[in-house]
Amino acid sequence: MPEVKLKLANENPPKDSAVLYASDAPNYFWHLESLKDAKFFWEAYIAVNQNRILPTLFESNEHILFVGVEQGIFVINIDKGEIINRITDTTYVQSIELITKKFVLVTSEDELLGFNLNGEFLWRTNFPDVIEDVKEKEDEQIEITDVSGGVYRLNVVTGKSVVK
């Protein structure tokens, strides 16, 4: 299985490099590099507006890598270095985690995005305020609390609201 490394690039990417845009006003580039058997395999650069918040990396299985940074979520097939999915219009990505052992949940400032383990986008739900906490509940449900004290419950399969 390829190993993935991430570091802040000291300069702009080479001219023919793959660049993933996670900002509409990029000032910095993160260098994502994959090594297989300790040798270079593939690379990509992630264009961002600021460099103080590290990108979030999450492997949902041996072959799929989720990268969350600024306003972008990129799903990459590690074995091929191919983009499976990209969403570049979200608010700042806060976390990426496995939910109910079957789904990947991406939390950004005021929205949640659901994916299956293979990186297929399933749903997106916005909230009125910044998300403070997400807890896994029974029956494939999650409970979300925002900074205003609002509490919401969603089905992780559909992203639809559930009555408590």
The mean pLDDT value for 89-110 works out to 93
pTM: 0.92
DSSP state of 67: E
As a whole number of angstroms, the distance between CA 125 and CA 156 comes to: 11
Summary mean pLDDT of the chain: 92
Domain ranges of the chain: 3-155
Burial of residue 164 (number of CB atoms within 10 Å: 0-12, 13-18, 19+): exposed
Residue-wise pLDDT tens digits, 124-147: 999 999 999 999 998 899 999 999
> In the predicted model, is pLDDT for residue 107 greater than 90?
yes
> Do 99 and 105 contact (CB within 8 A), yes or no?
yes
Give the residue carrying structure tokens 């297929």.
120
Angstrom distances, CA of residue 48 to CA of 71, 83, 110? 9, 18, 19
As a whole number of angstroms, the distance between CA 9 and CA 7 comes to: 6
As a whole number of angstroms, the distance between CA 146 and CA 108 comes to: 12
pLDDT of residue 50: 84
As a whole number of angstroms, the distance between CA 75 and CA 120 comes to: 9
CATH numeric code, 3-155? 2.40.10.480
Residue-wise pLDDT tens digits, 19-35: 999 888 889 999 999 98
Say what percent of the chain tops pLDDT 70: 99
